[in-house]
């Protein structure tokens, strides 16, 4: 790793996880383009060529660092390397994650543990490694990328993924109370449907691939629904702009929404009873849950 240039020594320092593509990729570029000395971290450095090439072309204050959020040693080595070079970490964007798809009954315990290891414990591992430096600085901001599925309350096939995002929101809300007196701010960003390779990278539970699963029809309907929803997806740059807005706000809110779809969804939920909202979501997802379940039992 090269030493920071004299022009970047006084920049605020940002660390972004999961930066090889999608939201993490665009957020790293957005922060670097706005003067942050940005460490774009990722598990697989073979996927770093695009962002490195663009950073070099634009002469951005951006470094690429290997960091696997599921590995204690990898996290510690990355944080040690970053702080040795920059001396501080002002912004942490916890973005790394993936979705495990499958009906709850079909999800194996090992699959569920792997989902939590990345989406929840990965956030925990990186944040706990960064916090001592932020405490010493008496400043910093932590941005946790949640999901617009939280205000939805869930969806068929999403029990593993959605539950990790509910956990992230509970974690963030509690951390905010603890860290605010220390000068450290905590922010949640809820993206809507974003046009990234996220959906292409969805992992399907092994049992859910079996056409004889009692949930196969409902999963097929959900796959069709997602194909339609993604046609109107927002750009990952939208989320990156929201992250930039949050970290440059002197008094950031706990929650930021990224996407008109989530704004509309939250407004609908405020104006409806829980049962009305549930019926609306079934209709929007083109699901008749009772008949679909009966057909396979």
Question: Which residues are part of the catalytic machinery?
Answer: 161
**224-241 exposure pattern, b = at least 16 Cβ within 10 A, e = fewer:** ebbeeeeeebbebbbbbb
In order of 47, 90, 98, 158, the CA distances from 240 in angstroms are 19, 17, 18, 24
Q: Are strands 184-191 and 37-42 parallel, antiparallel or unpaired?
A: unpaired
Per the listing, tokens 């920049």 go with: 11
Contact 157, 102 (CB under 8 A): yes
Angle at 77 between CA 44 and CA 122, to 5 degrees: 65
**Nearest residue to 157 (alpha-carbon basis) of 104, 225, 227, 213:** 104
């Amino acid at each position: 790793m090269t030493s920071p240039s004299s022009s970047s020594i006084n920049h605020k320092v940002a660390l972004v996880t999961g930066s090889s593509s999608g939201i993490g990729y665009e957020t790293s570029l957005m922060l670097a383009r706005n003067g942050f000395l940005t460490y774009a971290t990722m598990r697989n450095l073979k996927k770093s060529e695009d962002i490195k090439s663009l950073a070099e072309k634009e002469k951005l204050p951006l470094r690429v660092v290997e960091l696997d959020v599921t590995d204690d040693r990898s996290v510690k080595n990355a944080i040690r390397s970053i702080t040795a070079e920059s001396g501080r970490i002002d912004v942490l964007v916890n973005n790394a994650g993936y979705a495990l798809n499958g009906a709850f009954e079909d999800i194996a315990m090992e699959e569920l543990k792997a989902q939590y290891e990345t989406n929840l414990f990965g956030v925990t591992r990186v944040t706990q490694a960064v916090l001592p430096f932020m405490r010493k600085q008496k400043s910093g901001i932590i941005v946790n990328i949640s999901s617009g599925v939280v205000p939805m309350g869930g969806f068929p096939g999403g029990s593993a993924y959605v539950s990790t995002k509910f956990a992230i929101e509970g974690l963030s809300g509690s951390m905010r109370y603890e860290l605010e007196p220390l000068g450290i701010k905590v922010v949640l960003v809820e993206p809507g449907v974003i046009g990234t390779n996220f959906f292409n990278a969805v992992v399907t539970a092994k049992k859910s691939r079996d056409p004889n699963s009692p949930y196969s029809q409902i999963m097929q309907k959900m796959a069709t629904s997602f194909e339609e929803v993604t046609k109107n997806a927002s750009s990952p740059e939208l989320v990156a702009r929201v992250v930039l807005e949050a970290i440059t706000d002197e008094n950031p809110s706990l929650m930021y929404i990224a996407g008109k779809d989530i704004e509309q969804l939250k407004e609908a939920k405020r104006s409806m009873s829980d049962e009305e909202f549930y019926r609306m979501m079934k209709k929007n997802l083109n699901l008749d849950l009772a008949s679909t379940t009966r057909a396979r039992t």
